[in-house]
Structure 1
Amino acid sequence: MEELLEKIRIPPEYAHAGDIQPQDITDLSVRLERWRMEIPTRLRDLASYLAVSASLSTEEQSLLVIHAAQFVGDDPWASTDAQSQAEHILENHVSPNVPLITQVLFSQVRPVFQSHAHPKVNLSTGRVLSRVAGGPLASQDLYTSQSWKESHPGISNVLLWVVARIKSLDYDRLWHLVVPPVMILLDDYEVAYKLRGISIISRVLKTVPPDLLRRTGVDELIFSSLKGTLVFLHNPKTPELLSTSIPTIVELVDLLFPVAVLNKGGGKQRFDRLCSVLGEGVIGNVWIHASRDVGTIRVTIDQVPLLVESLGICVVRYLKPLILQLLDPLYPPPPGVQRTVSQEVDELRISSLRSLSSVIKTCRDRISAWKKTILNAVARCWVWELEKPGLNTTEIRLGLREVIASLSAACPSIIEHEIPRLKAAYPALGDILPDAQSIQGESM
């Protein structure tokens, strides 16, 4: 079996396969593609051998996992056929019990990262160290001589496969084997590996006991690492990183401080953590330092409803910056500035309208002070759209109507006063400012 496993070992050059551009036809790219196309056949050969062989020992199964599970993911070395073959092999020839998972993590995964120990994690217990091992600059050692990337490019897939099969009751026994490699991925300086670390953490949070996170101090370590993703700006993968990390942060906070037990003392901790994400991370960092990165701004705006729902009425603390940011894409450009018509810009406006409705509904008791500002932006947006249509006029119209419906529910006075005046001044606004009966029906 070892010879067959060796044939599916991922070439180390795949560690940097993302640097190869589609237009770069080189000997390396040709060789890697040829290898990739041969893998499904090699996996079928392995499956045929396993079908007629005796049952595998725990050690043999662990070798099978470390090799085959690397193909269970969306990676440049794994075709759809290869993924299917690898999943079939693992499902039919591996028993993912505690002894096997322990064997995989201890004998296969730990040696991969042996020379790259995380300076904040105790390798024997999985607890957070009271002080950084190796001194203040020890964290930089994680970024030097990262041999694990070349030796096992698909190691993150193996970790994800393993943690997906750990039961809640088994984490106490396996914690010291899970935390160190996952934190190395999560704290890596390359966004691609951070994304893999986040996906693994998200899966861990679905089954890990919250008390274990607190007792070992790993809850704070994970939160700090995830929040740190909010400063990884101006990178092609930044939108993907933020759209993945923010929901995972909320998932972590919900696990540690669920709404159901806030009256038992967890309210302040929940509030502080969510506020640090929305206030310091999104508003205070992303929206200021990446204001021209439309894709980055849009994905954070897409996360506003999730953050608003999690904070509840406490989000009024950030009502002003939220309203101003969400209204900004709705205003037409200044005189003399040509309008940019693109799918990306239209998606930003649609996302802003969706999130604005969420903010209005959550902060309805405080929104009256902003009703005229919101109506002004909504009216200008639609006039602008009618004069120079974009690519998603219908969706923008529906988004504007939803905002008006939410605002009408929060501030009923606009139905009798502001809306009739707007329609009288510009009749075309009737497309988004229907009569009072229609508005009340939409807001119910």
Structure 2
Amino acid sequence: MTTSSTSEPLPTELLALLEAASIHSSNTISDLDAVNTLSYLARTESLPRLNGLVLCVWNEASSIIEDQKYSILWRLYGSRLAQDESRAPELAKELARISNFATRSVRPTTLNDLLRCLVKPISIPSIFANDVEKVNDQKLKRQMLDFRQSLHDRSRLLASVMKCHVDSGETAKDGITYDLTINCASILGDDRERWASSDTQSEAQTLLASLVSILPRPINSIQQLVTKHLLRILNEEIRPHFQHPRAAYAQHRERKESTKELNFQDQAWKMDRLDCVEILTWSLLQVKHPNFGPIQHLIFPPLLTLLDDWEPEYKQRGVQILRHVVVENSAPADVRRTGLGELFFECLSRTLTYQSHPPLVRLTLETIIPLISVIEIKETEAWYGKLEQLLEDGILRALVLAVGGKVEVLRIYLKGVGEVMGLLGVVGVKYLKPTLGSACEVLEMHQGDVETQVVAAEMVHSIIKVCWPR
């Protein structure tokens, strides 16, 4: 569909709609859907701005039979056109001639009609598998920018449509609601802003809020919306891309004593769908206890894959999910029944050595310490044993290697030592020599670094509080 040469320029919003919904391509969307979409949005537009648009549809929507075309155009203009024929005299006369027929056969445009037309699955181009900041090819850069702009236009239009419908009394059907949720998850989960800018994410957030406001109870929050669809998301959007880890998960249930690192030749979750991990992470972070218990078998396979991946970015996603799902929002008894507690602990222990990525080390340490109270009953022999293992084989060993390296990582380890020693209490007396020795070494080597000196002193203070002779 192309704009007639005699028509006025189309409003910017509707031009964006024509591009975002691919109305120009008859193979993608029907002319009738195009007219319905534009007639719906026309309700909020002034008549003069729409003259060019209507002429375009009138002249070129050739696949629509005449009575349908007239009916829709009549509905588009309605009484406003009859009140002032001078705005579009030729159309006014034609519509007046068939007005009696038009009012009887008009096909209403509902919210679901409109959303079916506009809501298409987001397919992230393979070019975004590259580091956006390191792409030097101008053609690829242009393609990336074009996709980001197109995604923004689509999100802006959908958000506008939904906001206009908040007070209409209509509600979106489950299938459309699910598709909208997935699209928004892809956008909002892109925290690195590779394909979705902050403005696009803001529009997606507005869209979800408006969607929730028109849904029937008990859905009254984004959290409840995602919780409702989470099982389907995991089965349809995530599980097909993590088939190999499912087998590994079953093996670890049978042989939980195994410490063999998982190795996967096939990483479909990176290759086949670029936003798979973003959808998984964002969706899980919206859900709270007690909704994870029944679906642990769908969450843990991709979680283990992320934790064992060699790229720090995906490891960090895995730690983030583990902290939210297992540590903060699962009953300890449910986690212990899986037999995967030891495996989670080992995965996090290995991640503590990623000293070139301080944010990953910090998040890992903040996760592994409370994890011990989830996988072991607090203040039991096994619980103390895990704390000692973390301190001796994990943090202290990493601390020795970190001295002379990145100061930020050094501070993270020092804080970790203080926290674990505080939990050990008098049991930690046996570790006075290595802990105080490390603190003294740091204090001596970093005399000009006040922040590091303070962190080391705080660690010593934590040790004194629990190990001072009574």
How much has 1:268 moved relative to structure 2? 1.2
Question: How large is the RMSD of aligned CA atoms in angstroms?
Answer: 3.2
Paired residue secondary structure (1:275): helix
Q: Residues 202-245 of structure 1, C-alpha deviation per residue, up to 9 Å, x if partnerless? A: 11121211111111112222112111212334x3x2x2211011
Q: Residues 248-289 of structure 1, C-alpha deviation per residue, up to 9 Å, x if partnerless? A: 011211234464xx3xxxx211111111111101112x1233
Quote the residue 2:147 is aligned against: 35
CA distance in 1, matches of 2:413, 2:261: 32
CA distance in 2, matches of 1:82, 1:112: 26
Q: Conserved in 2, the CA contact under 8 Å of 1:65 and 1:104?
A: no
Aligned match for 1:170, one of 285, 288, 291: 291
Paired residue secondary structure (1:189): coil
CA distance in 2, matches of 1:5, 1:316: 62
CA distance in 2, matches of 1:136, 1:299: 26
Quote the residue 1:100 is aligned against: 229
Q: Conserved in 2, the CA contact under 8 Å of 1:7 and 1:42?
A: no
CA distance in 2, matches of 1:110, 1:166: 18
Quote the residue 2:127 is aligned against: 13
CA distance in 1, matches of 2:386, 2:260: 27
CA distance in 2, matches of 1:195, 1:71: 19
From the superposition, tell whether residues 315 and 13 of structure 1 become closer, same or farther in structure 2 (CA, over 3 Å).
farther
From the superposition, tell whether residues 363 and 11 of structure 1 become closer, same or farther in structure 2 (CA, over 3 Å).
farther
Q: Conserved in 2, the CA contact under 8 Å of 1:183 and 1:197?
A: yes
Quote the residue 2:367 is aligned against: 248
Quote the residue 1:207 is aligned against: 329
Q: Residues 75-117 of structure 1, C-alpha deviation per residue, up to 9 Å, x if partnerless? A: 1323222222222223332552655221111122212323x42
Quote the residue 1:349 is aligned against: 453
How much has 1:197 moved relative to structure 2? 0.8
2:154 is matched by which residue type in structure 1? R
Quote the residue 1:75 is aligned against: 192
From the superposition, tell whether residues 168 and 332 of structure 1 become closer, same or farther in structure 2 (CA, over 3 Å).
closer
From the superposition, tell whether residues 118 and 5 of structure 1 become closer, same or farther in structure 2 (CA, over 3 Å).
same
The within-5 A match list for 1:311-350 is: 311-331=424-444, 345-350=449-454
Q: Conserved in 2, the CA contact under 8 Å of 1:61 and 1:100?
A: no
Paired residue secondary structure (2:277): helix
Quote the residue 2:348 is aligned against: 226
CA distance in 2, matches of 1:187, 1:300: 22
Quote the residue 2:385 is aligned against: 272
1:245 is matched by which residue type in structure 2? T
From the superposition, tell whether residues 55 and 180 of structure 1 become closer, same or farther in structure 2 (CA, over 3 Å).
farther
1:75 is matched by which residue type in structure 2? R
Q: Residues 92-147 of structure 1, C-alpha deviation per residue, up to 9 Å, x if partnerless? A: 32552655221111122212323x4244313xxxx943149xx9999322xx3423
CA distance in 2, matches of 1:253, 1:158: 28
CA distance in 2, matches of 1:136, 1:319: 30
What number of residue pairs does the alignment pair up?
336
CA distance in 2, matches of 1:149, 1:211: 33
Quote the residue 1:365 is aligned against: 469
Q: Residues 145-187 of structure 1, C-alpha deviation per residue, up to 9 Å, x if partnerless? A: 4232244333333223332344434333212222112221122
CA distance in 2, matches of 1:89, 1:128: 41
Q: Relative to structure 2, which stretch is displaced further, 288-297 or 91-100? A: 91-100
CA distance in 1, matches of 2:121, 2:175: 19
Q: Conserved in 1, the CA contact under 8 Å of 2:186 and 2:279?
A: yes
Aligned match for 1:65, one of 168, 181, 184: 181
Paired residue secondary structure (1:140): coil
1:120 is the counterpart of 2:243: no
2:304 is matched by which residue type in structure 1? M
CA distance in 2, matches of 1:223, 1:203: 15
CA distance in 2, matches of 1:138, 1:275: 23
CA distance in 1, matches of 2:314, 2:452: 27
1:140 is the counterpart of 2:263: yes
Q: Whose Rg is larger?
A: 2
From the superposition, tell whether residues 316 and 137 of structure 1 become closer, same or farther in structure 2 (CA, over 3 Å).
closer
Q: Conserved in 2, the CA contact under 8 Å of 1:223 and 1:252?
A: yes
Quote the residue 1:292 is aligned against: 404
Quote the residue 2:254 is aligned against: 130
TM normalised by structure 1 equals 0.67
CA distance in 1, matches of 2:424, 2:260: 36
Q: Conserved in 2, the CA contact under 8 Å of 1:171 and 1:208?
A: yes
From the superposition, tell whether residues 37 and 177 of structure 1 become closer, same or farther in structure 2 (CA, over 3 Å).
same
Quote the residue 2:66 is aligned against: none
Gaps in structure 1 of 5+ consecutive residues: 334-338, 367-444
How much has 1:318 moved relative to structure 2? 1.5
Paired residue secondary structure (2:254): coil
Q: Conserved in 1, the CA contact under 8 Å of 2:245 and 2:304?
A: no
1:108 is matched by which residue type in structure 2? E
CA distance in 1, matches of 2:445, 2:411: 18
Gaps in structure 2 of 5+ consecutive residues: 1-114, 213-218, 220-224
Q: Conserved in 2, the CA contact under 8 Å of 1:257 and 1:270?
A: yes
Paired residue secondary structure (2:130): helix
Quote the residue 2:75 is aligned against: none
Paired residue secondary structure (1:303): helix
Paired residue secondary structure (2:404): coil
CA distance in 2, matches of 1:332, 1:106: 53
Quote the residue 1:157 is aligned against: 278
Quote the residue 1:437 is aligned against: none
Q: Conserved in 2, the CA contact under 8 Å of 1:305 and 1:358?
A: yes
CA distance in 1, matches of 2:121, 2:236: 21
Q: Conserved in 2, the CA contact under 8 Å of 1:14 and 1:150?
A: no
